[in-house]
Amino acid sequence: MREKIEKQMDEYMEKYLSLYPFSGSIAAIYKGEVVFNKAYGLASIELDVPNTPQTKHKIWSVTKQFTAAAILMLEERGLLKVEDSLKKYFSDCVALDERITIHHLLTHTSGLFNSSEIKDNSFHVLPQKTADLLKWHTALMGDKLLSHEYIDKMNTDYMNNYGYGVEVSEVDGKCIVEHGGGYEGFYAYLARRLDDDFAGAVITNYGFGEGVGILNDAIKDITLGNPYEMPAKPPVHEIDRHLLDEYIGKYEDEHFPVDYELKRVGDELHLIRMKYGNGPFILPVYPISDTELQHTWTDETYELGKTDDGIPTLLGIKKLDTTQVSLDESKNNNTI
C-alpha cells in the first residue's frame, strides 16, 4: 500500500513543483503505518542545505493542542480543573477577572487580548519534525496520554468549531480534528481524521501558508483512495477594469495599522502586505475571477468581496475610506 501511495504522491508533487515552489516536509500515517514521509527544497538557501525528513521546523499554533493535552493530563490526575479560575494560579495579577477560567483560555473565549497583536514581540518555541506530529496522532488515538473520556473532552466543539487547542468539524459524517500555525516564514498544518485513523502533516519554511492545506488534502485523498485533481495553475480572468478599480486601495484590520494595499504598478497588480511588523511584502497577483486574486508564482489565492453596504473587502478586511485617509494625512502634515 505504501508503494502505491508514494508513487501517486510523487507524481502529484512532480507536477506541483513544476508550477509552484515548495520547501518543507510532508508526512502521513494511516492505521498506524507511516505511508509517506518526504522533504523538499532547502533548509538553508545561504548554505545550500537541503531539507530532510529530520529537519526541524517551527509549528507555531499547532502547539496549542500540546498545551491542551498537558492541562487535561493534570486534570485527569486531580491536580487542577479546567473550570478553575485563573485567579487561583495568578493571584498576584490584580487586573485579572476572576470569572476567566482555564477552559476559557483553551477555547479562545477568555476575552483576553491576542499576544501576537503586540508589536515587536518575540516567541521562543521548540522546533518540530514533520514525523513528530505523526507520533502525536498515534499517542492521541490510544490511551498513552489521556483516557478516551479526556480525549473526547479535548475534541469537543465548545464554540465556533473550536475545542481545546484544536479546530473540530465534521465532514461526510466523520470527525476532523486539525490546526494550522504560521509566523516568521514557517507554516505548519496537522489534520487528523479520527474515524479513518489518518493524520497528515505538512510543514514549510518557505513563508506561504495556503499550500500546506492543499498538499495535506492531496496526501489525504491519495491515502484514502478518494478522487483528486492534479495541480494546475488557474488562467488569467479578464476582470472588468471598473470593478477592479473599486478594489484598488488600502485595507485596514481593526487590530493593526494598514495591513494590505492593492495597487497597480505598470501592467502588474501588487498586493502589499504589512503585518506583524515584518512587512512590507510585495505579492504579485492576477485575477482568476471577479472575486479572487492568484499569487503569480505560489499556490495562494486572495478573496475579494463587499460588505452589505457595498464597501470592498480583501480577505474579509474592509477597504479604507480614501477621503477620510486624505483628510487625516492632511491634518498630520499641518505645521505651525
Which of the 8 DSSP states describes residue 98? Answer: T
Could you report the per-residue pLDDT of 49-87, keeping only the tens digit for each? 999 999 999 999 999 999 999 999 999 999 999 999 999
pLDDT tens by residue, 205-260 = 987 778 999 999 999 999 999 999 999 999 999 999 999 999 999 998 776 555 89
Query: What's the CA gap between 146 and 32, in Å, rounded?
Result: 18
Please answer whether residues 21 and 13 qualify as being in contact, where contact means their C-beta atoms are separated by less than 8 angstroms. Answer: no
Question: Rounded to two decimals, what is the model's pTM?
Answer: 0.86
Torsion of CA 205, 207, 212, 214, to 10 degrees: -140
Asked whether residue 286 carries a pLDDT value surpassing 80, the answer given is yes
Distances (CA, A) of 262 to 244, 248, 278: 10, 5, 18
Expressed in angstroms, the distance from the first to the final Cα of the chain is: 77
Set of cell numbers at residue 245:
478599480
Q: What is the pLDDT of residues 110-169, one digit of tens each?
A: 998 766 555 444 444 445 557 688 899 999 998 788 999 999 999 999 999 999 999 999
SS (H, E, C) 67-83: HHHHHHHHHHCCCCCCC
Q: Say how far apart CA 300 and CA 203 lie, in whole Å.
A: 16
